[in-house]
Amino acid sequence: MPLLSSMLAALSRYRAALRNVHWEREIRLWSGLVLFAFVTMHLLNHAIGVLGVPTMEAVQHWRVFIWRSWPGTVALYGAAALHVGLTLKRIALRTPCRMPIEEGLQIVLGLAIPALVLEHALNTRYGSSILSTDDSYTAVLTRIYPNQIAWQTILVLVAWFHGIIGIHYVVRHKPWFERVREIGFALAFSIPLLAIAGFLAAGREAASTVHSEIALAPEQVTGLQQVVEISYQLLIAGGLLIVGALVATEVARSWRGTVPVRYVGHGETALRPGASLLDASRQNRIPHPSLCGGRGRCATCRVLVLSGLETLPEPTYSERMVLSRISAPKNVRLACQIRPKQPIAVQILLPTIARDAGLDWEEEAYKWGVDRNVSILFVDIRAFTSLSKKQLPHDTVLLINRFLGEIAQAVEAHGGRIGMFLSDGVMAIFGLGGQRGMGARNALAAGHAILRAARMLDDELGSALPLPFRVGIGIHCGSAVIARVGDDERGYVITALGETISIASRLEQATKELLADMLVSEAVVQAAGTKPPGSVLREVPMRGHDQPIRAYAYSEAFSEVRPAAQAETQPEAIP
């Protein structure tokens, strides 16, 4: 009985979760992915045209087998109907407002697709199925090349980039997006260009050969012309009907009056009933970030509801999941998901960062802060205060700049990034590129390189220094918030925030207490699969932790027994 009760309770929770899922959004996404898969396969088939028309037709056989089977046909046309219908509904529900350029471009491209693809679809699928026309590549290319080169090129670009923009909105806030951004960018532009090149090459090949046997019969030409004409008339009528419905919806909204919305720092504005809070912000030119384009997949548009929270409907399951990831309190909601019907007061929680700040793509990925599993390295010059007191300011600056240059080179050579320059040290971040083991191996290698650089500087400048030149290094790995901090006037830097950074800093400080050159946390050793040679496991007390941090203490005294190069190339494996 207890087992049955637990199973029934789990089933009840599952059914409740299904009821709360934002089904329209998910169906619109997955139907769009089905259509995008069809377009991708079509363009790849075009790209093979550079190898010749026979090769294109060999691949076409398998593509047609997939999409003209009963499952493929149902999936394709069902996805088209669902995607178009739900997208039109989404457009109808939103009020006319200002929106980001890429979002408006996606809508325009999507609305242009039916007009561009209609004749091509009828000449191929309808013609072959109903009028028994030949829709092989040889036949189709002979009929459309070269008269429809521009039309086909526009169709390829419009359909492809409509899908690319939508996918970008969905994945741009994902933790793994940074790892695939460059290859995704390359594919996004190379696939349509290769498809156009294949179409042109195959078109020239088909046009150079006379194919009298594939010419359309007069009754086939007449049948295609009639169905194309009727279809365009229906498309125009449908477009006018949709425009009329949108106008009627807007008129009905105007009759219902407006809902007052007060923004902290922006005064009071009016919102049309049925519009989202994000729409109101855009309509009134209030800066309001939205990384996913108002699809409820990120939390960048979140607001603090100061009054009127009780008048809002409960958040959907999807909204709750997004807010729970950031541990948001109950009075924080997503502006793209709430449609106030009563007066409300809100505060936008995240700032909008200007597009013209001169930032590169890599920094743009971190402008809102993202969770990453990384390795953090802290390095600090030992006894720097005593060292600087016994030197002239000029000599101190030269020493610091020389050492910081060596550190930066060691960090960047091992795939790391300087996250912060301290007065006499550096914080470095490893694993931003999604390397295995959170970049722990690279952090260890960089730590050894920094110790070598410090030893080299001591050998080179030791006679001119009042104290031996020594450094302490602390390395820890784990989850951290990687963010771009700063402002337009003074510039931005990428840095790391969170407990992982505090632990790495504490380990660096503990090198003085334990008389070690480098302290590497047990988590780093486990992630890297190796530990510094000759290191000893120690425990480091950490404020706010019930248990001490276990770390391996490494000292370069070990290198006197075994050469440094040998020690680094033959690390000891974890027992």
Give the residue extent of every domain in the chain.
19-254, 259-348, 363-573
Identify the band that residue 242 occupies on the pLDDT scale cut at 50, 70 and 90.
confident
pLDDT for 507 equals 94
Residue 247 pLDDT > 60: yes
Q: What's the confidence (pLDDT) of residue 566? A: 35
pLDDT at 153: 93
Residue 423 reports pLDDT greater than 60:
yes
Phi, psi for residue 449 in degrees, rounded to 5? -65, -40
Largest CA distance in the chain: 100
Q: What is the percentage of the chain residues whose pLDDT exceeds 70?
A: 84
The Cα 371–Cα 478 span in angstroms is 10
Q: What is the pLDDT of residues 502-545, one digit of tens each?
A: 999 999 999 988 989 999 999 999 999 888 888 899 999 988 78
230 band by pLDDT with thresholds 50, 70 and 90: very high
Instruction: Please determine, for residue 35, whether its predicted confidence score (pLDDT) is greater than 90.
Output: yes
Confidence class for position 78, pLDDT limits 50, 70, 90? very high
- What's phi and psi for 477, nearest 5 deg? -130, 155
Query: pLDDT band at residue 559, thresholds of 50, 70 and 90?
Result: very low
**In angstroms, rounded to a whole number, what is the distance separating the alpha carbons of residues 481 and 500?**
9
- Does 3.30.465.10 match the CATH number of domain 363-573? no
pLDDT computed for residue 2 by the predictor: 58
H helix intervals, 68-213: 70-93, 101-121, 127-130, 137-144, 149-171, 177-207
Q: What is the pLDDT of residues 340-394, one digit of tens each?
A: 989 999 888 876 554 444 444 455 556 656 778 899 999 998 877 777 777 777 7
At 5-27, the pLDDT tens digits run 666 555 555 455 444 446 777 88
| Contact between residue 334 and residue 323 where contact means Cβ atoms under 8 Å apart | yes
Of all residues in the chain, what percent carry a pLDDT higher than 90? 32
The residue behind tokens 């951290």 is 480
259-348 is classed CATH 3.40.50.10320: no
Task: Check residue 8 and give its pLDDT.
Answer: 59
Residue 270 pLDDT > 60, yes or no?
yes
Tens-place pLDDT, residues 98-125 = 677 888 888 899 999 999 999 999 988 8
CATH code 3.30.1300.10 for 19-254: no
User: Has residue 560 got a pLDDT over 70?
Assistant: no
Which residue do the tokens 């950074």 mark?
A: 501
Band of pLDDT at residue 409, cut at 50, 70 and 90: confident
Distance of CA 279 to the CA centre of its chain: 23
The pLDDT of residue 483: 83
pLDDT of residue 358: 43
pLDDT (tens digit per residue) in 275-328: 888 888 888 878 788 877 777 878 888 899 989 999 998 888 778 888 887 778
Greatest mean pLDDT range, 40-54, 164-178, 525-539: 40-54
The full length of the chain comes to 575
CA distance 425 to 381: 6
Q: Residue 364's pLDDT is what?
A: 54
Query: pLDDT at position 357, please?
Result: 41
Residue 81, burial from CB neighbour count under 10 angstroms (0-12, 13-18, 19+): exposed
The pLDDT, as a whole number, for residue 7 is 61
Q: What is the mean pLDDT of the chain?
A: 82
Q: Which helix (H) or strand (E) holds 259?
A: strand 259-263
pLDDT of amino acid 517: 92
Residue with tokens 């992915």: 33
Residue 179: which pLDDT band, with cuts at 50, 70 and 90? confident
Ranked by mean pLDDT, the top range of 255-269, 293-307, 478-492, 546-560 is 293-307
Tell me the pLDDT band of 62, cut-offs 50, 70 and 90. Answer: very high
